[in-house]
A and B are shown apart, each in its own frame.
Chain A
Amino acid sequence: MTALPTRKLEAWRYTDLRALAAISFVDSVPAAAPADLPELGMPRIVFVNGVFSEAHSTPFEFCAGFAAVAEASSLPLAKINAEHARDGVTLVVPEGVDAGAVLLVSYASADMPIAFHPRHRITLGAGAKLTVVEVAMGQGVYWHNPVTDISLHENAALAHYRLQDEGLESFHLATIRAKIAAGAAYESFSAVMGAKISRAEFHVTLRGAGAKTHLNAAQLLGGHQHGDFTTVVAHDAPNCASRQTVKSVLDGHARGVFQGRIEVARAAQKTDGYQMNQALLLSDTAEIDIKPELEIFADDVKCSHGATIGALDPEQVFYLRSRGIPEAQARAMLIRAFLDEALEPVTHEGARGLFESAIENWWARK
């Protein structure tokens, strides 16, 4: 097996995988999934311990099975995935087709530590449309190491919503690679709430003129959780836009990481790149590490990044309480308001409802 990355690698400076390396994982074992898996009134594809579960899934006509060959990668976790992947879903939407929405659920449950490495592919033909809602959840000690390769042809539109709500003893290390052709849009939002250690690493390449992407996230972490949201957006063509609004709400001893790199090639004139990272620290012991990087080789571009770190404003809390709103509810309202901008790309009603209740539950279970 390819070795796990260590903190000696610049890209892994803030995320330490020694706790993962210390565990001997076995390959996935079969398990039963609970009856109350998420359901959004759309076709559902379910993986239990990384293995496709026909019993829990419903037919989706654009589903094409498992891609036998991995795409080459220099990323250590994608390499490990390529070596071990045994299952995954391939979604192919032909040119001009609006395929609606599909729910992808990963459920894990194990008595002994298991590892699974799903390989997913999403390909949209020219002008095609699709909404993918992903939910990752489970219990026990496990390592979920999915790689998702996305290819959008001209003017295609993919909305990709991810709810990472894994069990609190688990490890979730996701790699998402997307190639976006001219005029196509990759709109993504990730809610990160689960896992002991998690990382979502996006590599998005805007390859044709007028391509655009949103890579938004909300990280809600407490206890000793560690959540890392890392993005690399390559602007390779002119007139492309990338928007990243990443919000972290950190309680207890939680640690959040945001690393965002925007690479603007010489040809990518009129690039519009925006990156905003904001953290709300609810305790004195929570921590956030933010590393924005801009690499710009074109001369006519608009790129900005900003970062803020703060606590809940006592004036705002008092204002709400003075109107009769109990303190816990006032704080929850302000946290939800803080996340609002990150949720902007979530235009699908069902997906929005899923995130709204997940955020509410996160607050309630604290």
Chain B
Amino acid sequence: MLVIENLFARIEEKEILRGVDLVVPDGEIHAIMGPNGAGKSTLSYVLSGREGYEVTGGSVTYNGQDLLGMEPEERAAAGVFLAFQYPVELPGVGNANFIRTALNAVRRARGEAELDAVAFLKLARAAIKNLHMPDDMLKRNVNVGFSGGEKKRNEVLQMALLQPGLAILDETDSGLDIDALKIVADGVNALRGEKFSALVITHYQRLLDHIVPDRVHVLAAGRIVRSGGPELALELEAHGYAGLEAA
């Protein structure tokens, strides 16, 4: 379970999060919607431990562990996965080598046996097939020369293989055509289960047609200003975010 209490965070001198309260129980998928500049991406970066964000108040725990006191790699080992809004290109790093190194680092941290190259490839090829991705995905350098859609699919592939307990999808739907959107949604839906939860950050309703959330929250000016069921997303789609900041 992810528990965020009264979280304040800033970049340099600019206060972005101003008292976020949010609970995501295991087995649930929650959506965070909100206008540009509301702090959606900041929230995802603070949760995953990116440098440059200073937490000035509040707490975040995941399964009882203090997430904010952990290094990014420790959070990953604890089961947190961030699907990047802009996945990073790594020239010279093969995708297979990258994902296997990540998987083995996480397995090592969890006290599990590492996978050799053969066992990994078997697992990765199966995941690629399930996600209807091209076979050469593993052979290429990480995200180098990938289209926007391929980069997002690569995030989903990593997620499928790392099997996180908590996935944070930061505007994973931006720039995706409908086919790619379905692949991303299938990737998330395939992980659904009692031990899996997700925070789906999005600006638009359409991703939520494919990943149906248990709860929808509206983040505006650094706070959760409204929460509701899936119908809230439809309402926002129809009426926009105007007026919510005052709510």
Contacts and interface: CB of A to CB of B under 8 A. Distances in A.
B12 interface: no
A15 to B, nearest CB: 29
A325 interface: yes
Contact of B77 (A319, A324, A341): A324
B92 A323 contact: no
A130 B58 CA distance: 66
B102 A337 contact: no
Nearest to A313: B88
A326 interface: yes
A285 interface: no
A322 B105 contact: no
Contacts, number: 77
A329 B101 CA distance: 9
A323 B84 contact: no
Contacts of B82: 322
B73 to A, nearest CB: 5
A333 B73 CA distance: 15
Interface in B76-100: 76-77, 81-82, 84, 87-88, 90-93, 98-99
Contacts of A339: 92
B101 A325 contact: yes
Interface string B210-229: 00000000000000000000
Contact of A314 (B51, B109, B162): B51
Nearest to B107: A324
A92 B50 CA distance: 58
A321 B73 contact: yes
B149 interface: no
A353 to B, nearest CB: 15
Interface in A89-116: none
B91 A322 contact: no
B90 A324 contact: no
B197 interface: no
Contacts of B106: 323-324
A322 B76 contact: yes
A327 interface: yes
A34 B61 CA distance: 55
Contacts of A340: 91-92
Contacts of A337: 90-93
A324 B50 contact: no
Interface residues of A, number: 24
Contacts of A313: 88
B233 to A, nearest CB: 27
Contact of B92 (A318, A319, A341): A341
Contacts of B81: 322-323
Grouping DSSP codes into helix (H, G, I), strand (E, B) and loop, the A interface class, with mixed when no group exceeds half, is helix
A253 interface: no
B72 A318 contact: yes
B83 to A, nearest CB: 10
A334 B84 CA distance: 19
Contact of A324 (B87, B88, B105): B105
A333 B71 contact: no
B158 interface: yes
A327 B73 contact: yes
B105 A326 contact: yes
B3 to A, nearest CB: 21
Interface string A212-238: 000000000000000000000000000
A232 B48 CA distance: 49
A319 B158 contact: no
B95 to A, nearest CB: 12
A338 interface: yes
A334 B93 contact: yes
B102 A325 contact: yes
Nearest to A321: B72
A334 B142 CA distance: 12
B84 A324 contact: no
Contacts of B105: 323-326, 329
A298 interface: no
Contacts of A327: 71, 73
Interface string B158-198: 10001000000000000000000000000000000000000
A333 to B, nearest CB: 6
B106 to A, nearest CB: 4
A333 B101 contact: yes
A342 to B, nearest CB: 10
Given A325-B101, A329-B105, A333-B93, A319 B88 contact: yes
Contacts of B102: 320, 323-325
Given A318-B72, A333-B101, A323 B88 contact: no
Given A318-B72, A333-B93, A339-B92, 9 more contacts: A318-B51, A320-B90, A321-B49, A321-B76, A322-B76, A323-B102, A323-B158, A333-B98, A338-B92
A-B pairs, 5 with minimum CB distance: A337-B92, A324-B76, A323-B102, A340-B92, A324-B106
Interface of A: 313-316, 318-327, 329-330, 333-334, 336-341
15 contacts: A313-B88, A318-B88, A319-B88, A320-B90, A321-B71, A324-B77, A324-B105, A325-B102, A326-B71, A327-B71, A334-B90, A337-B90, A337-B91, A337-B92, A341-B92
